[in-house]
Amino acid sequence: MSTAGVSVRGEPAVRFYEAAIGKKIVMAVTGFILFGYVLVHLLGNLQIYLGPEQINAYARFLHSTPLLLWGARVVLLAAVILHITASVQLWLLNRRARPVSYVMEKDPPAGYASRTMLWSGPIIGAFVVFHILHLTTGSVGLPYRELDPYHNMVYGFRIWPVSLSYILAMVLLAMHLYHGLWSMFQTVGVHHPRYTPWLKRLAAAFAIFIGAGNISIPVAVLAGWVRE
Set out the domains of the chain in order of their start, with CATH numbers: 20-223 (1.20.1300.10)
Cα 125 to Cα 177: distance, rounded to the nearest angstrom: 14
197 pLDDT tier (thresholds 50, 70, 90): confident
Q: How far apart are the first and last CA of the chain?
A: 69
Residue 215 scores a pLDDT above 90: yes
Least confident of 67-76, 95-104, 180-189: 95-104
- Provide the angle, in degrees to the nearest 10, between the axes of the packed helices 20-45 and 196-223: 40
Q: Which residue did the predictor score with more confidence, 10 or 58?
A: 58
pLDDT in tens, 40-99: 999 999 999 999 999 999 999 999 999 999 999 999 999 999 988 988 888 888 777 765
pTM score: 0.83
Residue 8 pLDDT class (50, 70, 90 cuts): very low
Residue 58 class from Cβ within 10 Å (0-12 exposed, 13-18 middle, 19+ buried)? Answer: middle
Closest CA to 147 of 45, 62, 59: 59
Distance in angstroms (rounded) separating the CA atoms of residues 22 and 89 = 11
Structure confidence at residue 14 (pLDDT): 73
* Among 140, 130, 160, 152, CA closest to 52: 152
Q: Tell me 190's DSSP state.
A: -
Q: What local confidence, expressed as pLDDT, does residue 24 receive?
A: 86
171 has pLDDT over 80: yes
The pLDDT, as a whole number, for residue 99 is 54
Give one DSSP letter per residue of 79-108, joined into a string: HHHHHHHHHHHHHHHHHHH--SPPS--SSH
